[in-house]
Chain A
């Protein structure tokens, strides 16, 4: 192993590399969830969307030979699932969270069903930008292989922040999420805005799935997602519904996720599974610290999770 040459230094390096690799799916899903929740709806089903995106991206990349086509197809497949979620949650007395659970089962079932033939073959992965060419250390070189998808996501975060803050459409979305009555008075169609936000959010979550199957770990299997879609929901709360903070939080979660494998690479296998649980424990701790029974978390959209 290359990391062995670096000894203990390999651990922080592997974690740093992991922040970008492992953080990319978190980033896209959390931005998608952020967009959805800003309009006042929760989409817990993004876990299913993520799996569907991963499968679609891998299958399309394998069948056409073009990974970028796979990324687009992943986003589109996410939009289809998003449409189902949006339509169902806008029926009277239908609970968003329960529909989300149903969408996790349906989306993952569909992804495993359609993805069965693609577990064996090898699909062309996305090209990476090799920024580590100047170094002779192979570990550093592989750590600096940065995916254009990560850069895209990192650019999307400030863009989304600007969108919410300074554009007319961003204002509409915030109004629908914070106070639907005011939005109605402005003449905005709440249904339409929420529908578009959920579909848009699912598009991003689908691309997050593409980053799993075409970038890191770069394979398609039924165990490819380890709950990133669900953790993204908690991550958005942690990020106080601000896109830029979603970016930082995603990097943190990506780093936590690479703790287990990084320690394993220097020979610490004791408690490997426990270290793998680090992102979940971290999420739970963050929620315990940031939540409070007395007040809602600052930055929460006013109408979030309210019934129709």
Chain B
């Protein structure tokens, strides 16, 4: 369990190292801003204000956190199997296309039915997209990182092709788009807020993912195969089926993010769908160390960073890429912090004596 008293130092390490990494990257970002001619403390204040300052801005952050929770699972779930999948952006785009197609095809049906149809289409399209990556990995040994990345570009080309040709609404001139989804079929807002139901989808998906990985035999099998694939094969685990099932689930989460973006924010599919939620989702997964529950909190933090892009541009005259630099810095520092686990004396378990099973693995 999380609060096992004899392992509290390890738990403390798992919590404090990512926080320390975030704080340190905040310092580095401040230095960067100072070099760019902006007052770092004013920048911090602006980010805080734009992300968490008041209820209104916090709602903006939550709207951005919703797709991030879902896209983060696209990297976090396969990571438990030892796969690094970064096709989040592509799966999101494909899920969005599927959702729009379903929404338009079901037009006229009761709104709840249309919404279920759109969600299913997003789940299935995204799932098949990343499921294919898993199949290529298993049957052909194709590196999953590279194939999933290539699929991002292919998905974006597909989106551009569809919205400028077969699915184009002739009235959308300067920004080719599909026909809009009727307002009645759009996902509603959580009562009393401006935040759409996508946030609930994200939270539920993360909780399900956590239980699936940590509390079921399926999750145990996946973690075993991720730890040592040869041992898993000897134990008779169906590694291929596990790979494809996990990849399908991962892709369907990102596909659902595409559905949420289409059915709750954009109302139609166009190039705005490709808004880098996929790439930021990778960052969320890595900061959360692929733990789905932690991903919900990290998604809110990263959503806050994304929400502050506008204010940095307006108030501090910093280019919109500032947010990207910040994310890159956080990512690099978090990667460095990986090397510190087990190396800092304060987090060393004192109760563990030599001869414990943990030391026998090497």
Contact = CB atoms under 8 A, between A and B. Distances in A.
B190 interface: no
Contacts, number: 145
B328 A234 contact: no
B331 A112 contact: no
B158 interface: yes
A231 interface: yes
Given A88-B336, A271-B161, A116 B319 contact: yes
Contact of B335 (A98, A237, A272): A98
Interface string B83-106: 010100000000000000000000
Interface in B54-72: none
A169 interface: no
A56 to B, nearest CB: 15
B333 to A, nearest CB: 9
| Residue of B36, B165, B341 contacting most chain A CB atoms (<10 Å) | B165
B248 interface: no
A268 interface: no
Interface stretch (A100-108, A125-133, A209-217): A100-108
A280 interface: yes
Nearest to B141: A293
Interface stretch (B147-155, B179-187, B205-213, B259-267): B147-155
B158 A112 contact: no
Given A231-B150, A287-B142, A98 B157 contact: no
Given A113-B321, A233-B146, A106 B339 contact: no
Contacts of A103: 328, 332
B238 to A, nearest CB: 15
A288 interface: yes
Contact of A293 (B138, B145, B149, B158): B138
B161 A273 contact: yes
A134 B149 CA distance: 44
B310 to A, nearest CB: 16
A292 interface: yes
A101 B331 contact: yes
A6 interface: no
Given A93-B341, A234-B150, A108 B331 contact: no
Nearest to B343: A92
Interface size class of A (residues with CB under 8 A): 35 or more
Contacts of B153: 226-227, 277, 280
A277 B158 contact: yes
A91 B336 contact: yes
Given A99-B332, A273-B161, A280-B157, A92 B339 contact: yes
B158 to A, nearest CB: 7
Given A270-B165, A292-B141, A102 B331 contact: yes
Contacts of B320: 112
Contacts of B336: 88, 91, 94
B325 A287 contact: no
A188 to B, nearest CB: 23
B178 interface: no
B82 to A, nearest CB: 11
B140 interface: yes
Nearest to A283: B150
Contacts of B338: 91, 93-95
Contact of B321 (A112, A233, A272): A112
B143 to A, nearest CB: 7
A288 B135 CA distance: 11
B324 A105 contact: yes
B283 A284 contact: no
Contacts of A91: 336, 338-339
B160 A113 contact: no
A185 interface: no
A98 B326 CA distance: 17
Interface in A253-303: 270-274, 276-277, 280-281, 283-284, 287-288, 291-294
B109 to A, nearest CB: 31
B140 A109 contact: no
A109 B157 contact: no
Given A88-B336, A102-B332, A108 B86 contact: no
A292 B142 CA distance: 7
A286 B150 CA distance: 12
A47 to B, nearest CB: 9
Contacts of A274: 157-158, 161
A149 B184 CA distance: 57
Contacts of B282: 101
Given A113-B319, A277-B157, A108 B324 contact: yes
A199 to B, nearest CB: 17
A84 interface: yes
Contact of B328 (A102, A116, A276, A287): A102
Interface in A4-33: none
A94 B154 CA distance: 30
A160 interface: no
A110 interface: yes
Contacts of A234: 143, 146, 150
B279 interface: yes
B286 interface: yes
A109 B146 contact: no
Given A105-B327, A233-B146, 8 more contacts: A93-B339, A98-B84, A102-B335, A106-B331, A226-B153, A281-B154, A288-B142, A291-B143
22 contacts: A92-B339, A92-B343, A93-B338, A94-B336, A101-B331, A105-B283, A106-B328, A106-B329, A108-B328, A109-B325, A111-B321, A112-B319, A112-B324, A113-B36, A230-B146, A234-B150, A273-B161, A280-B153, A280-B157, A283-B146, A287-B143, A292-B140
- Top 8 closest pairs, chain A to chain B, by CB: A106-B328, A109-B324, A112-B321, A277-B157, A102-B331, A91-B339, A293-B141, A109-B325
